[in-house]
Amino acid sequence: DIQMTQSPSTLSASVGDRVTITCRASQSISSWLAWYQQKPGKAPNLLIYKASSLESGVPSRFSGSGSGTEFTLTISSLQPDDFATYYCQQYDYDYTFGQGTKLEIK
Amino acid sequence: EVQLVESGGGLVQPGGSLRLSCAVSGFTFSDHYMDWVRQAPGKGLEWVGRSRNRAESYSTGYAPSLRGRFTISRDDSKDSLYLQMNRLKTEDTAVYYCTRSDATGYSVYWGRGTLVTVSS
């Protein structure tokens, strides 16, 4: 199984901050990585696929980078609507999610 | 507009069975890969399994830990996806989401989910 590890588990930040979430794979997954945002009581929402491709309709302040085993999700300037939990998912072999990063208001 | 609506969740005893349904609209069902993803209360996301499209003969795949207990099927005449869950365990308690997925593996559209509670 490919294990996905996100860091940090919790991140406190303020509106306007630039934040970065990291996702590491236990083995190389090329660029087969997606990022999702989930708000309480709601289904996840796709943000990024193939490591750096922005899903249609997602604000450009979200960006993804990386390949191989290390990936990042960056929000360039936090907005109030961005406080949520973020998950990475590898889809190179089967499909595995990271444990999530909760982005909280500082 | 793409819509996915899950149903069939509820309370079931350990060892019991349950069948979830996902009714879809807004796209040609047979053209698309469909997945089930679950989320235990307060926990992260876990991929359950996948049904490929007609071009791939509707072949299925499952998370290794669930293979043998869970079965995915679909009925194109009803635009519906199903998840048959047998020999349920307390650890199967979760919200089960139906998703329409890209062939490579990520989930583009998600339903609202249906809650399955396995408890005596």
**How many Cβ atoms sit within 10 Å of the Cβ of residue A35?**
29
Cα-flanking dihedrals φ and ψ of residue B114, to 5°?
A: -135, 135
Mean pLDDT of the B52-65 span: 94
CB–CB contact A44 B107 (8 Å)? yes
Interface of A with B (CB under 8 A): 1, 32, 34, 36, 38, 42-46, 49-50, 55, 87, 89, 91, 94-100
Whether residue B92 contacts residue B2, with contact meaning beta carbons closer than 8 Å, is answered with no
Mean pLDDT of the A1-28 span: 97
CB–CB contact A1 B64 (8 Å)? yes
The rounded distance, in Å, linking the Cα atoms of A62 and A82 is 10
Mutate to test the interface with B, among A5, A32, A95, A96 (most CBs of B within 10 A): A95
Q: B61: helix, coil or strand?
A: strand
The rounded distance, in Å, linking the Cα atoms of A93 and A89 is 11
Indicate the residue type of B103.
Answer: A
The rounded distance, in Å, linking the Cα atoms of B2 and A59 is 20
What would the pLDDT profile of A51-105 be if each residue is shown by its tens digit? 999 999 999 999 999 999 999 999 999 999 999 999 999 999 889 999 999 999 9
Whether residue A19 contacts residue A10, with contact meaning beta carbons closer than 8 Å, is answered with no
- Please, is A2 exposed, middle or buried when counting C-beta atoms within 10 Å of its C-beta (0-12, 13-18, 19+)? middle
Mean pLDDT in chain B?
96
Whether residue B113 contacts residue B96, with contact meaning beta carbons closer than 8 Å, is answered with yes
The pLDDT value given to residue A94: 87
pLDDT at A41 over 90: yes
The rounded distance, in Å, linking the Cα atoms of A71 and A11 is 17
The rounded distance, in Å, linking the Cα atoms of B98 and B108 is 11
pLDDT at B67 over 90: no
The pLDDT value given to residue A9: 97
Return the structure tokens found at B83.
């998840």
